[in-house]
Structure 1
Amino acid sequence: MPPAQGEYPLGTSQIRTGTFTLMTQLTPARAMTAPALPDHAPVFLAPRGTTRPWYDLSTVDPMSLTYDDVLLAPQPQTEVESRRRVDTSVPFGPWRLDLPVVTAPMDTIVGDDMLALFEELGGCTFWPRCDDPVAVAVAHRVRFGPGVRCAYSIGLGDRPESTIELARALADAGVRMILIDIAHGGQARLVRTLGALQSHPDLAEVVFVTGNIATASQARSYLEPEPVATYVRVGVGSGGLCTTRLIAGTGVGQLSAIFDVAGTGLSVIADGGVRHPGDVAKALAAGSQVVMIGSLLAGTDETPGEVIDDGHGPRKFVRGQASFSYMIDNQIAVDKHRAPEGEAGFVPVKGSARTILTQVSGGLRSAMSYTGAANLAEFRRRAVFTLVSNATLFENQPHIFRR
């Protein structure tokens, strides 16, 4: 029996023509309009040159997909003749990014050197939570100029008034984008606070980013009864240093989470699960506006911290923001009510993050040329995914040295 109306994943024609079209008729505070639903649902390659929508996969649970489960199928009769001719730029809040990649707000990944590199390459930096984000923002405007592409992270205070007060101070310092940085973006308290922030007259020029979420039902809480968010981080438990799925048993396959949330019309920041440059291309093809990377940059020259060599080669320290190390350093209690959900340790030094970001940019351009897409909007429309077997996953690797 087919699902009843409204039970299909958001982004399908059943939803676009069903009850959820009412979202476009809302008149929320700040004249914020509900996002337009995508006109295209991600599709998978099927036999004899046909395709099928992602939610109609018959051989695998469609909500279990990760980056390693898929490849992008090369397309026929493409007009893009060179990687140099594709446009990887994307609008992102108050800016336009040349590289649709942003940093994760991690204190062992992001510092002034990483911010400077992302400024140069056209990405965006998410500054981690700190004791005085206003002072940091002022210093960045002095060093990098008033147009610095940096979002600043704040927590969800005990009272909405305290969160609004901090956000107003950041806005007075010239900040254009603020991240409400919490692990569980499905909290009703977060939705209420976002509504208060969006409606405040002193914050009309600030873009707020929220999350993390992993399902369309969570996304709808930001849209109904009125939209209170535009950009949302998507990913629960998929980070390279995250243990949420092991400790809390909670999460959704990262690619499926992107499919599901992007179908609501919210602008997705794909957060977590990126282990290879090609994963960035897959995330963007799946519907992400930008891709957030953290552990991929671990050990690079631009990350904060000293290089140590204790006989195991030069290494640098890295930790998740929910690790025991971070919790101790930031006076976060570890007791029966809270367990660490992240790891910490040392990774080999990798050299400059520029090399990694160049691979990401080049890989994205190559993926777009295989798809025949001149820009990212075309990339999302033209992309066709294909499921891979375990044998294909092995075949994906340069296997001549594995015999």
Structure 2
Amino acid sequence: MKIDNEIKLDFSDVLLRPKRSTLNSRNEVVLEREFNFLHSNSSWKGIPIMVSNMDTVGTIPMLKATSEFNILTCLHKYININDLINAVKDDNKIVNNSVLSTGISDNDWANLTMKIDLLEKENINIKFICVDVANGYMISLIKFCKRVRKKYPNKILIAGNVVTREVVEELVINGGVDIVKVGIGSGSVCTTRLQTGVGMPQLSAVLECADAAHGVGAHIISDGGIVVPGDMSKGFGGGADFIMSGSMFSGHDESTGNIIEEDEKKYKIFYGMSSDTAMNKYNGGVAKYRSSEGKTVKVLYKGPVKNTINSILGGIRSTCTYVGAKRLKDLPKCATFLRVNNQVNTKYN
């Protein structure tokens, strides 16, 4: 037994300190970044925000909408490959912002290779593969990543989720991973911390894992914990190269599910991929040896996702002007975090 007495921080525990700025307008801030990746010898240019690979938000309509902003959508692993081919064929912008998802079972491997084979027959080259498991500390994840890297040496390989430096380094050095996905239990519809007592506050996880990944030439995605646009800015300020969110993109026209009307308000359903809802849908129920680690919620209907994206990007641009960062890339070196007891005035909440 061991106790780490260092206090770990979440996005809600800090604010960014304002600094002198030479920027005259939010419009001067450059949000696009260009990345070159360690193992794949591939590159990508765009705004490094990613829609989570949850089946309520990681959809083809979402991919089409986010591609207009050069934002990535991580498609859920149950996506219909024929629908995807029809959606992305002859549109390089959509292809460039697509991410395929997979688990690590033999069936997942068969599905992944089948999808890539069918895409390649249509001359569609989706660059990104996301190997996604809730517990990134399993040796089987490393083995699966090695297998993917060997078969697809030029693909940009994402894998996770983890929250500590040693496994970030292991995934990069021995697993051939280009981008490590960081976050355990931080999602809005994730109950892992309640069910297991395992996790780490997201900002501290980002700080630790970004330092580890950058030290070996790789990158990280901060996955989860985003409540408001300012949280994305804090994630970038903490060293995250990409920010992934599900909840921010839920409840839109591009999200799956019908609109539900109750008490003259409109809602859409949003759920975690380890929830009863997801496991009943895809696995025939919750296996006897495990428990649900997600919840199902109703979120207010928000209309087209472009409005939310504009709000997010406007918030990040404003952050950059407050701290003097001319480019999103500069935000970490301009960021000073203040530990706070309270973030906002809640009188009219």
TM-score calculated relative to the size of structure 2: 0.88
| Structure 1 partner of 2:89 | 142
Verify the 8 A CA contact 1:151 1:178 in the aligned structure 2: yes
State how far apart, in whole Å, the 2-side matches of 1:239 and 1:358 are. 22
Report the equivalent of 1:281.
233
Counterpart for residue 196 of structure 1: 147
Aligned partners of 1:65 and 1:165: how far apart in 2? Answer: 40
Instruction: Determine the structure 2 residue equivalent to 1:251.
Output: 199
| Mapped partners of 2:12, 2:346: distance in 1 | 15
Distance 1:241 1:102 in 2: 17
Letter of the aligned partner of 2:134 in structure 1? Answer: A
**Is this contact kept in 2: 1:167–1:178, CA < 8 A?**
no
Paired residues of 2:60 and 2:75 also in contact (CA < 8 A)? no
Deviation (angstroms), 1:329: 0.8
- 1:195-344 to structure 2, matched below 5 A, reads 195-200=146-151, 203-224=152-173, 226=174, 228-264=176-212, 265=214, 266-311=218-263, 313-344=265-296
- Counterpart secondary structure, 2:241: strand
Alignment partners' CA distance in 2, 1:179 and 1:384: 31
In structure 1, distance between residues paired with 2:333 and 2:15: 16
Q: Deviations over 1:331-388 (max 9, x none)?
A: 2542331111101132221222222211111111111111111112221112111100
Equivalent of residue 70 in structure 1, options 4, 9, 14: 14
In structure 1, the residue matched to 2:321 is: 369
Q: 1:164 to 1:199 in 2, by over 3 A?
A: farther
| In structure 1, C-alpha distance between the alignment counterparts of 2:141 and 2:99, rounded to whole Å | 18
The answer to whether the 8 Å contact 1:137/1:170 transfers is no
Tell whether the 8 Å contact from 1:157 to 1:163 is kept in structure 2 after alignment: no
Aligned residue runs from structure 1 range 86-235, under 5 A: 86-92=29-35, 94-97=43-46, 99-130=47-78, 132=80, 134-142=81-89, 144-145=91-92, 148=95, 149-158=97-106, 162=110, 165-166=113-114, 168-169=116-117, 172=120, 173-200=124-151, 203-224=152-173, 226=174, 228-235=176-183
Shift of 1:88: 0.7
- The answer to whether the 8 A contact 1:160-1:196 is kept is no
Would the alpha carbon gap of residues 358 and 116 (structure 1) be closer, same or farther in structure 2, given more than 3 Å must change?
same
For the pair shown, the structure with the greater C-alpha radius of gyration is 1
**Secondary structure of 2:294 counterpart:** coil
SS in 2 for 1:263: helix
Q: Structure 2 CA distance, aligned partners of 1:242 and 1:295?
A: 11
Q: Distance in 2 between matches of 1:193 and 1:355?
A: 38
> Given that residues 323 and 341 in structure 1 are in contact (C-alpha distance below 8 angstroms), is that contact kept between their aligned partners in structure 2?
yes
SS in 1 for 2:99: strand
Deviations 1:270-308 (A, max 9, x none): 110100010000000101111111112221222122112
Task: List gaps (5 residues or longer) in structure 1.
Answer: 1-54
1:174 Cα deviation after fit:
2.1
Is this contact kept in 2: 1:156–1:163, CA < 8 A? no
Identity %: 27
Matched-pair contact (CA < 8 Å) for 2:85–2:119: no
* Structure 1 residue identity aligned to 2:16: L
Give the match for residue 61 of structure 1: 6
SS in 1 for 2:88: helix
Q: 1:218 to 1:110 in 2, by over 3 A?
A: same
Q: 1:398, 1:205 → 2: CA distance? A: 49
Matching residue within 305, 309, 318 for 1:353: 305
**1:141 corresponds to which letter in structure 2?**
V
Contact map agreement 1:164 1:197 (CA 8 A) in 2: no
Q: Which residue of 2 aligns with 1:8?
A: none
In structure 1, how many angstroms separate the alpha carbons of the residues matched to 2:255 and 2:112?
A: 31
Deviation at 1:145, TM superposition (A): 4.1
SS in 2 for 1:91: strand
Contact (CA 8 Å) 1:160, 1:193: kept in 2 or not? Answer: no
